[in-house]
Amino acid sequence: MLERLIIENIALIDKLDLELDEGFTVLTGETGAGKSIIIDGLNLVLGGRGSRELITYGEQKCRVEAVFDVSDKPKVIKKLEELGIDSDEGCLTITRELNVSGKSIARVNGVLLPLAGLKPITDMLVDVHGQHEHQSLLDDSNHLKVIDAYMSCKILPILESVNAVYDEYSAVVAKLNAGFISEAERERRIDILKYQINEIESAGLSKNEEADIKEKLNILTNAERISRGLNTASAALSGDGGAVGLLKDAVDELSGIASFSTQYDELFSRLNDIYYEIEDAAYSLRDLKLDADYDPKSIDELETRLDVIDGLKHKYGNDAEEILAFAQKAKAELEQLTGGAALREELERRKKELLIKYRENAERLTNIRKTSAQKLCSLAEEQLKALGMKKAGFGAEFSMIDDEPHRDGSDSVSLLLSANEGEPMKPLSKIASGGELSRIMLALKTVITDADEIPTLIFDEVDTGISGTTANTVGLRMKKIAQKHQVLCVTHLPQIAAFADSHFFVSKHEKGGRTVTSVIRLSDEERPAELARIMGAEDDSGAAVSHAAELIKKAQKAEL
């Protein structure tokens, strides 16, 4: 669950620190007070798009921190381990910073993570349903995502198989289309490839050759300085009065007195070891002196070789490895172009095989999607009836896009609704009202969330277009969902707020010459007054407050 949310410098919020509970939590307040700003901050830390417009005017950056308890979420912990992130005994802290230049930084338990790596984690933790998201149901292209989300654990493996075959099929088609151009163009391309391959292979490149050449050149061009240094060092060690001779004298002298004392013996051993070490170094210096001669011819040869390598790098890659990889790719293309009829025949055969395999996998995908749709629609229909649409019928209509392979399969799906008894099923875009769309989305979210076990659900003003008894039913439904999930809801309806386990009041006021948003947790005694305010009552309306208290009392006793 989401245990804590800290927001700094987002819009009207200068500093907000919310400690959240399990169960059903609501946020209420006047329009424009900043309720949806809190959701914007949460979306940011979950990996959503970061706009500089979010940053409070006059500030350089904004920051959001979310703390989750994931101790009972093994899939999340496994994902963290895959990313090399310590799960910190089940505590997960995500921070996101955004500065005025547009640069964004995300950290998970202190580890920097790109947004592409953040979303797979947060998608397992929180599902945010925005106040306008239900409008997406009007677009049939979104309906397949709803079907796939319900039985994702069964659908995803088949979907991956379909896409793998589709990718291979597309590659074969691309080879057929690109590899067999006009004969004149084909011959020109063959000549170019042969020249490129010959130029690279005749150069005889090796992986570390460039680095070795540069090291040799560095030695040869500094040969005089190296020789002088080696000669001087060698003389200091091996010349008349050098260190080796002096050390030998010292060792010989100590060897004669070593038996008189353990101290003398230890000193003798130390100096004897040093003597042999320095003597060995002296031999190495003598050998190095022999390899340090200045050789203009060798320098010219090495520089010429570097020019060859630089020329190849300019044409084919940044280093020898990339150049050799270019040659391999060119060979593969040349083989394809010179294969002629035999290769084309092989590609055509492979295309037919893949097309059959694709259609088999796509058919399996369609069948399991239809099973998913049937179960989803049946359960969603039950939810709709509980949400006041007693006579609603809900279904899904499948059709094939066309006979060609497509990524994600060949299915096109349209969700259908019959709002009243006796009416035929029609697409949602044709008949659903705003209030019906809100209830349909809530019904679908309820069913899908129970299937995928996302622990935290956020509903941002999804009560658009509903009121009265239906609002009471929606509140009851959210309370029921909160038995298995943590639910946060931004609402304007007292019937929904009455069901909350925790209630936060959002307001704005002036501070230091600017308007800021603040949030307070309402006590049980304070909640009736806030519900009365939502109802439109005057501040001193005792009757409205009593009515609100009774509303809360009934909501808490309602059977789920």
pLDDT of residue 540: 62
pLDDT of residue 227: 79
Q: Which residues contact 70 (CB under 8 A, 6 or more apart)?
A: 76, 77, 87, 90, 91, 92, 125
Helices (H) and strands (E) in the chain, counts: 19, 15
Task: Take residue 400 and report the two structure tokens written for it.
Answer: 């094939």
SS (H, E, C) 250-315: HHHHHHHHHHHCHHHHHHHHHHHHHHHHHHHHHHHHHHHHHCCCCCHHHHHHHHHHHHHHHHHHHH
Nearest 5°: CA angle at 183, between 180 and 185? 85
Could you tell me if 327 and 201 are in contact, meaning their C-beta atoms sit under 8 angstroms apart? yes
Could you tell me if 308 and 200 are in contact, meaning their C-beta atoms sit under 8 angstroms apart? no
Spatial CA neighbour of 446 closest among 478, 471, 489: 478
Task: Indicate whether 356 pLDDT > 90.
Answer: yes
pLDDT band at 240 (very low <50, low <70, confident <90, very high): confident
Nearest 5°: CA angle at 442, between 441 and 444? 65
CA distance 237 to 221: 26
Other CB atoms within a 10 A radius of the CB of residue 160 amount to 11
pLDDT of residue 355: 94
Per-residue pLDDT tens over the stretch 303-339: 888 888 899 989 998 888 899 999 999 998 887 777 6
pLDDT of residue 435: 65
Per-residue pLDDT tens over the stretch 247-290: 888 888 888 888 888 898 899 899 989 989 998 888 888 777 65
Mean pLDDT (the chain, rounded): 86
Task: Take residue 267 and report the two structure tokens written for it.
Answer: 């000193």
CA distance 502 to 552: 12
Tokens 């069964």 -> residue: 154
Could you tell me if 544 and 494 are in contact, meaning their C-beta atoms sit under 8 angstroms apart? no
Spatial CA neighbour of 51 closest among 113, 98, 112: 98
Report all structural domains of the chain as residue ranges with CATH numbers, in order of start. Answer: 1-125+454-560 (3.40.50.300)
Query: Poorest-confidence range of 26-30, 103-107, 336-340, 473-477?
Result: 336-340
CA distance 378 to 82: 37
Query: Poorest-confidence range of 58-62, 165-169, 220-224?
Result: 220-224
Task: Indicate whether 135 pLDDT > 90.
Answer: no
Mean pLDDT of 433-445: 74
